[in-house]
Structure 1
Amino acid sequence: MKKDLKTARSAVTGKFVTQPIGGKKAAKFAQVEGLTMNAASKALSEKLTASGLKGDAYRSEIVKAFKKG
């Protein structure tokens, strides 16, 4: 069976359109690379998810939590 490869391009600029990967796919990438989350990271992720944060708000809170200085 042949894979259906389609590329998406912006009608305005002609550049490739990219979309962020989802959590499941990111977990697969991390597993392949041998990356694991420590207890503090897991707790923070669960706390932010439980508070309803998604997307950019979630990412900005993660950055704030681990930013030094």
Structure 2
Amino acid sequence: MAKETKLGRSAESGRFVTRPIGEKKGEKFAAVEGLKMSAGSKALSQKLTSGDLKGDAYRREILKAFKKV
């Protein structure tokens, strides 16, 4: 039996729909590029996720933490 794959397309435009990549796939991309999180970044990420921040709120807090004044 062949594996069925569904293509995500917009009902309005018919164009492909892009979705954000998941955490695991993001880690794979980072490994290929040779990127590693610093200890400070890991600690901040754990702090924010333990505070139940997700999506835009999470990204906003990350930007605040690393924004140079």
Task: Give the TM-score taking structure 2 as reference length.
Answer: 0.84
Give the structure 2 partner of residue 11 of structure 1. Answer: 11
Return 57-66 or 9-18, whichever deviates more.
9-18
Task: Give the TM-score taking structure 1 as reference length.
Answer: 0.84
Structure 2 counterpart of 1:46, one-letter code: Q
Q: Which runs of 5+ in 1 are unaligned?
A: none
Aligned-pair CA distance for 1:15: 2.4
Give the structure 2 partner of residue 54 of structure 1. Answer: 54
Q: CA RMSD in A?
A: 1.6
CA distance in 2, matches of 1:43, 1:20: 23
Give the structure 1 partner of residue 68 of structure 2. Answer: 68
Q: Which runs of 5+ in 2 are unaligned?
A: none
CA distance in 1, matches of 2:63, 2:3: 37
> What is the percent sequence identity of the aligned residues?
66
CA distance in 2, matches of 1:13, 1:65: 38
Give the structure 2 partner of residue 45 of structure 1. Answer: 45
Aligned-pair CA distance for 1:18: 0.6
Return 46-55 or 9-18, whichever deviates more.
9-18
Count of paired positions: 68
Structure 1 runs, 4 residues or longer, greater than 4 Å off: 2-6
Distance 1:36 1:3, change over 3 A: farther
